[in-house]
Structures are given as C-alpha cells and as structure tokens.
C-alpha cells in the first residue's frame, strides 16, 4: 500500500514600490498597492478560486478518501483579507471538510531559520496561532520557507513540538536512497521527515504544459499508472508544489484543472494507492532511516540550495543588514514597525536580487517587479534604511549606548575611590614622615622599612586604575 501525499503552497509577498533615496526619512510607506492588488486578484481569479472550488468538489465526491495539505503564509493571508476576502472564505470551506490539513511555517515566509532561533520560534508561533484562528486546527507538521531544511533546522523544529517536517528529496542528500519512504531527523529522531519526490512533483508543476516534453500530454490515467508502477516496497509518494501551479504557472488552457479533477479517481482505481495527509503519513508509517543534511537544502532551482536567496554579495549584505536590526526589534512594541518588519523579511525580496539568470531565469522573473537584480537590491536597501531610522527613533537607546553608559558610570566611581585612597596614602605618608623624623637618629632601619611599605601600598592603589 502506497500513500499519495499532496501538499500545496500558497504565498504572495507584499512587493515594494520604487522607493527612492529622496524618500528616506520622508515617506514611510513602502508598498506598491496597485501591483499587489492586481497581481493577487489575477491569481485569485486564475488559480485560488477555481482550484479551491474543484478541491471542495473532489473532497465531497470522494467522501473521506481524498485528502490534501495546504500551507498559507501569514503575508498571503493578510493580502486575502485586504484584497480578496472571498478567497479566504473558500479556504475556510475547505478546512471545514476535515480532509485538509494546514501546515505551519514562518509567518512572513522568511529565512529567519538560518539566522536566529528565538525569532524563528516566534514567527512560527505567530503563524500557528493564525492557522488556528482561521481554520480551527493546530498545525502538527511544519514546512519551512521554500522547504529549506538542515539537521539543525530540523532539530529546532522538533524542539518546538512538531512531529514532522517537509523538505526536498534532493539528489545530493539522498544519493541512492529513495524519497518514497519516511525518514527522521539526524539529531532529533523524534522528528519525521517527508521528502518531496521531485521528479513526479515537477512533472506536474513544471513539465505539465511543455509540449516539447516526450511525455506530453500528461493525463491523470498515465500519472496514476506511474504511481502504481513504482517499487512495491515503497510506502509514500510526496507531491509538493506551489498552489499557483493550477491555473497560473500552468494555464487553464493546458488542461491542468481537468488533470486535477480526474486524478483522485484514477489514483483510487488502483487498490495499492490511497491519499494521506502529512500528519497521517508521519504517524502511520515506520521510519526507515535518519536523513543527514549538514548543509541547508531547498526546493529551488537546479542546485536545490540557498543560492537563489543568499548566493551573491548583495543578497548577503541585505540579509545581514536586515537581521542586524533584530536586537532592536526585540525591544520594539510599535505595531506598524512590527508589521513592516514582517514584510521586510519575505524571502521574495532576496529572490529578486538573484544573479543566476542562466539556469532558472524564467522562474525568477515570475511576478518580479524589478528589471535587474541591482535595482531590486538598491530599492530594498533604501527601504531598509528608512526602516532603521524609524526603529532607532522608536527604540531610543541602543544596547551599545546603554552598555557604554553603564561602564562609564562604573569608571567614574572607581576614579573617585582611587582619589580618596590616594589622599589617604598621602596623609599617612606625611604623618609617618613627621614621626620618623623624630626617630631618625635612633632607629633608622625601621623607618626605611615602613617607608617601603607605604610606597608599595600606593603602587597597588595605582595599579587598580
């Protein structure tokens, strides 16, 4: 028996407007409302609404045998609230069926897991709360931004109490092993790891509409047969992809909705196949081995690593300068700043700065508001500069300043003490001298000894300085 685990990612960033140097310190609004609204409405019409409708129909049709998992970022949710509340309602309707599992992730679709554990924990908690509030279920399974995963990140996630995590079944971490089993984290074996079958997932997500592909056209029957033809011992097939695959990356005309419509029926025709959500997979299947991922992997580009976001010096600089604000952010309670802080962290901003044009240019150009990565970088840094100015004003004392104030206070105290002691030494010395002068004739030896002592004493005092 093989479980087919479908999971779709829903995310849209708040794109920045052209934020110029002249705006720094003058204008604190960073977003291109028109672009954001029009893009969101377009995707809602092409993808979210029709796809949700179809999923709802399939779930009721198949009465408990068809299940999917969804993950919706906090920023995407905010955009639905602002621009397309009907999309939110249709997701709620899906949640009400009980056949849709909602996963946890970072609220802002950020890369914070690579930087700071506390902030990571906070953002995940923020997202889990949001899922619970809107969909009435507490997420049990975690997926990190862009499926970024490493042993260390898995360990952090395990300590947050999640029982499973999703990531990419990248060739370079699996080697000869198959992604079609359940694995566990190498540091913390209690965390189950579900690995994406990238071959089969990408057949749908990237190659479905490609007429140059030798398997084109891909039908549900054919795809179900491929699943059935997999090795009998294999236990799970993880098909993870962007939700926008349906109707946006693959246009309606390509037949992607028909493919999805008949997929459950065709899959369930085979006795050896059934659907399951990630948490079902994690609790029902046996772990076959730990998976070792010392360096972070992701589901992006040919390399399946972090170079799409942190590959060049501009991205590194933007990333470092962003999280340099973290200590101050921790002491900030201003709601507007907290909101912008979330939007600033969106991984998309870093994605736009990517300079690897040659292999995956098409994907990078998708909904990219910038002409060049340089423009993206300059714009981002301008926004960040303004944000930093606002933050400095809101959190008046930097930690450095506080520390300096503290230390200089201590120094002053010491100086006073030393002065006092020196005076005392002086006094003692002069007194000794007068008494010694009286005794010089009789007891010269003793006098010189006491003198030495007092000198030693004053030297000690000085060294305290």
Please tell me whether residue 378 binds another protein under the rule CB under 8 A: yes
Please tell me whether residue 327 binds another protein under the rule CB under 8 A: no
* Beta carbon of residue 377, minimum distance to another protein (angstroms, whole number): 6
Query: Can the peptide bond before residue 217 be classed as cis, meaning omega within 30 degrees of 0?
Result: yes
Is position 146 annotated as part of the catalytic site? yes
Contacts of 403 (CB under 8 A, 6+ apart): none
**Residue 50 and residue 45: Cα distance in Å, rounded?**
7
Closer residue to another protein (CB): 223 or 387: 387
* Beta carbon of residue 167, minimum distance to another protein (angstroms, whole number): 30
Binding mask 402-431 for another protein (x = CB under 8 A): ------------------------------
Please tell me whether residue 21 binds another protein under the rule CB under 8 A: yes
* Beta carbon of residue 27, minimum distance to another protein (angstroms, whole number): 8
* Beta carbon of residue 315, minimum distance to another protein (angstroms, whole number): 8
Please tell me whether residue 361 binds another protein under the rule CB under 8 A: no
Please tell me whether residue 372 binds another protein under the rule CB under 8 A: yes
Buried residues in 167-200 as b, exposed as e (16+ CB within 10 A) = bbbbeebbeeebbbbbbbbbbeeebbbbbbbbeb
Of the residues 1, 25, 60, 199, which one makes contact with another protein according to CB under 8 A: 25
Closer residue to another protein (CB): 120 or 387: 387
Please tell me whether residue 377 binds another protein under the rule CB under 8 A: yes
* Beta carbon of residue 28, minimum distance to another protein (angstroms, whole number): 10
SS3 per-residue string spanning the chain? CEEEEEEEEECCCCCECCCCHHHCCCCCCCECHHHHHHHHHHHHHHHHHHHHHHHHHHHHHHCCCCCEEEEECHHHHHHHHHHCHHHHHHHHHHHHCCCEEECECCCCCECHHHCCHHHHHHHHHHHHHHHHHHHCCCCCEEECHHHCECHHHHHHHHHCCCCEEEEECCHHHHCCCCCCCEEEECCCCCCEEEEECHHHHHHHHCCCCCCCCCCCCCCHHHHHHHHHHCCCCCCEEEEEEEHHHEECCEEHHHCHHHHHHHHHHHHHHCCCEEECCHHHHHHHCCEEEEECCCCCECCCCCCCCCHHHHCCHHHHHHHHHHHCCHHHHCCCCCHHHHHHHHHHHEHHHHHCCCCCHHHHHHHHHCCCCCCCHHHHHHHHHHHHHHHHHHHHHHCCCCHHHHHHHHHHHHHHHHHHHHHHHHHHHHHHHHHHHHHHHHHCCCCHHHHHHHHHHHHHHHHHHHHHC
**Residue 38 and residue 79: Cα distance in Å, rounded?**
11
* Beta carbon of residue 419, minimum distance to another protein (angstroms, whole number): 33
Of the residues 32, 129, 155, 317, which one makes contact with another protein according to CB under 8 A: 317
Q: Quick one: which segment of 126-134, 188-196, 253-261, 306-314 binds another protein (CB under 8 A)?
A: 306-314
Total number of residues shown for the chain: 465
Closer residue to another protein (CB): 1 or 389: 389
Of the residues 65, 283, 385, 454, which one makes contact with another protein according to CB under 8 A: 385
Catalytic-role residue among 146, 244, 266, 280 = 146
Closer residue to another protein (CB): 264 or 369: 369
Please tell me whether residue 310 binds another protein under the rule CB under 8 A: no
Please tell me whether residue 316 binds another protein under the rule CB under 8 A: yes
Please tell me whether residue 329 binds another protein under the rule CB under 8 A: no
Of the residues 10, 24, 40, 156, which one makes contact with another protein according to CB under 8 A: 24
Please tell me whether residue 147 binds another protein under the rule CB under 8 A: no
Please tell me whether residue 345 binds another protein under the rule CB under 8 A: no
**Within a 10 A sphere around the Cβ of 271, how many other Cβ atoms?**
8
- Binders of another protein in range 27-86 (CB under 8 A): 27
Of the residues 313, 412, 444, 452, which one makes contact with another protein according to CB under 8 A: 313
Q: Quick one: which segment of 141-149, 239-247, 312-320, 444-452 binds another protein (CB under 8 A)?
A: 312-320
Closer residue to another protein (CB): 389 or 437: 389
Q: Quick one: which segment of 15-23, 159-167, 237-245, 273-281 binds another protein (CB under 8 A)?
A: 15-23
**Residue 201 and residue 223: Cα distance in Å, rounded?**
11
Of the residues 86, 89, 320, 415, which one makes contact with another protein according to CB under 8 A: 320
Of the residues 70, 130, 186, 318, which one makes contact with another protein according to CB under 8 A: 318
Active site residues: 146
Q: Where does this chain bind another protein (CB under 8 A)?
A: 20-27, 312-314, 316-318, 320-321, 324, 372, 374, 377-378, 381-382, 384-386, 388-389
């Amino acid at each position: 028996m093989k479980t087919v685990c479908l999971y779709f990612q829903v995310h849209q960033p708040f794109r920045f407007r052209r934020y110029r140097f002249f705006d720094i310190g003058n204008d604190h609004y960073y977003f291109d409302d028109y672009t954001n609204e029009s893009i969101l409405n377009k995707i809602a019409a092409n993808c979210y609404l029709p796809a949700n409708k179809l999923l709802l129909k399939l779930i009721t049709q198949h009465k408990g045998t068809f299940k999917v998992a969804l993950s919706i970022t906090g920023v995407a949710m905010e955009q639905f609230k602002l621009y397309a509340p009907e999309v939110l309602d249709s997701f709620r309707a899906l949640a009400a069926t009980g056949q849709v599992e909602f996963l946890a992730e970072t609220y802002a679709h950020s890369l914070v897991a690579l930087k700071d554990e506390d902030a990571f924990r906070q953002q995940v908690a923020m997202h889990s709360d949001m899922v619970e509030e809107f969909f009435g279920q507490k997420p049990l399974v975690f997926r990190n931004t862009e499926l970024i995963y490493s042993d260390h990140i898995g360990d952090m996630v395990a300590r947050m109490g999640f029982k499973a995590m999703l990531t990419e079944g990248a060739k370079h971490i699996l080697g000869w092993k198959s992604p079609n089993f359940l694995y566990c984290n190498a540091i913390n074996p209690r965390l189950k790891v579900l690995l994406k079958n990238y071959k089969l997932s990408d057949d749908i997500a990237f190659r479905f509409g490609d007429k140059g592909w030798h398997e084109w056209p891909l039908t549900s029957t054919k795809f179900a047969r491929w699943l059935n033809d997999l090795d009998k011992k294999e236990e799970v097939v993880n098909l993870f992809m962007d939700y926008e695959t349906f109707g946006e990356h693959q246009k309606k005309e390509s037949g992607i909705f028909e493919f999805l419509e008949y997929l459950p029926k065709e899959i369930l025709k085979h006795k050896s196949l059934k659907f399951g959500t990630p948490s079902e997979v994690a609790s029902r299947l046996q772990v076959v081995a730990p998976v070792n991922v010392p360096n972070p992997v992701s589901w992006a580009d040919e390399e399946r690593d972090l170079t799409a976001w942190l590959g060049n010096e501009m991205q590194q600089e933007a990333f470092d300068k962003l999280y340099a604000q973290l200590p101050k952010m921790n002491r900030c309670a201003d709601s507007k700043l907290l909101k912008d802080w979330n939007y600033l962290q969106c991984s998309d901003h870093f994605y736009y700065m990517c300079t690897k044009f040659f292999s995956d240019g098409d994907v990078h150009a998708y909904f990219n508001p910038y002409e060049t990565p340089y423009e993206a970088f300059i714009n981002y840094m301008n926004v960040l500069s303004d944000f930093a100015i606002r933050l400095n004003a809101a959190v008046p004392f930097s930690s450095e300043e506080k520390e300096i104030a503290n230390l200089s206070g201590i120094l002053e105290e010491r100086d006073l003490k030393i002065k006092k002691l020196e005076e005392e030494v002086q006094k003692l010395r002069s007194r000794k001298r007068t008494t010694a002068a009286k005794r010089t004739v009789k007891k010269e030896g003793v006098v010189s000894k006491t003198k030495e002592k007092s000198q030693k004493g004053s030297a000690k005092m000085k060294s305290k300085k």
